[in-house]
Amino acid sequence: MILRRYKTSLLAIVGLVLLLGYYWYQQPLIVSPFGFRLLANQGTTLALAALAQLTVVLTGGVDLSVGAIVSLSNAIAATYMGDSPWSVFGVVLLTLGAGAGAGLVNGLLVAYGRIQPIIVTLATLYVYSGFALLIRPQPGGSVPGYYASTLTGAWGWLPYSLIVLLVITLAFRMPIMRSRLGTAIYAVGDNPGGAHMSGINVPRTLVSAYVIGGVLAACAGLFLTAQTTSGDATVGTSYTLNSVAAVVFGGAILGGGRGVALGPIVAAFFISIIISVLFAAGVSSFYQSVFQGAILILVLMFGNAWTLRARNRLTVLRS
């Protein structure tokens, strides 16, 4: 039963295992406390961004403003954090609040403005990037050393970033997704009309999903700030499309209603680590992005090869 539930994540897991195996062969030092910490830190930001994206994708939408919210959180955190533990705590809350606010605007426009999610979030992408630039016109700012080391350090072989990721996934996202709201999110994504007929408040569910997405994107921004220890209003750009890629690779369906957190998280690590593996393998800079895309396509094709043999499209849909 549990296995069936996570079947969609299988492709990403197999992909990541193969990739790590090859990386280990190229760079044996990766199996060391330092190497583990690097690997964990490298994937965590995108994993959090992918969780944000997944929450929205489950409703049948897509959030193009994820990268902008990451940049905005990074700009806020690095600009206002200061040195004292209280100001750090305050600014972390402020950043999460900003993320929630950004998600709320997205959600309200989608649910009550009745505008296509892709257009709403494309527009807010520009708005939030603009705010990020207003807060931090030039790269700079700083965060205290203990903030960075608490999130990106390690205790022996155990990187703190993995704990952060686990806590956010298990203690924040999972309880929500297992609650009535979570069920409603899946239902709305699968069949909005049916959900409405079953008495689910569709607009309110949509708004909630976008707010959760915004908070998770802000978490990604906060982690990225610990990683770079500074602010840059354009730093999040790449997370928008990479988070969509991670979600799809992780087995969720862009039409909504299907997908679990495990797949996108693993896929996020795959996508983040692939760059390092290509460096380690000595692939020329010009070919790196070609390889990156080609590997993704190949893996997805192998993963879905069985659907080509299926005689009836219903079998595919039912899976």
34 binds another protein (CB under 8 A): yes
DSSP secondary structure letters along 157-224: TEEHHHHHHHHIIIIIIHHHHHSHHHHHHHHHHH-HHHHHHTT--HHHHHHHHHHHHHHHHHHHHHHH
Asked whether 252 and 12 are in contact (CB, 8 A), the reply is no
CB of 27 to another protein, least distance (A): 6
285 binds another protein (CB under 8 A): yes
191 binds another protein (CB under 8 A): no
Nearer to another protein, 36 or 172 (CB): 36
Distance CA 167, CA 268 (A): 17
**Strand partners for 140:** 231
- The DSSP bridge pattern shows strands 154-155 and 158-159 to be antiparallel
261 binds another protein (CB under 8 A): no
Span from 188-196, 201-209, 282-290, 296-304 in contact with another protein (CB under 8 A): 282-290
Nearer to another protein, 284 or 312 (CB): 284
Span from 27-35, 51-59, 60-68, 162-170 in contact with another protein (CB under 8 A): 27-35
275 binds another protein (CB under 8 A): yes
253 binds another protein (CB under 8 A): no
148 binds another protein (CB under 8 A): yes
27 binds another protein (CB under 8 A): yes
Backbone angles phi, psi at 14, to 5 degrees: -60, -45
Two tokens, residue 71: 């940049």
Residues at the contact surface with another protein, assessed by CB under 8 A:
27, 29-30, 34-35, 38, 42, 45-46, 138-141, 148, 152, 224, 227-232, 235, 237-238, 272-273, 275-276, 279-280, 282, 284-286, 289
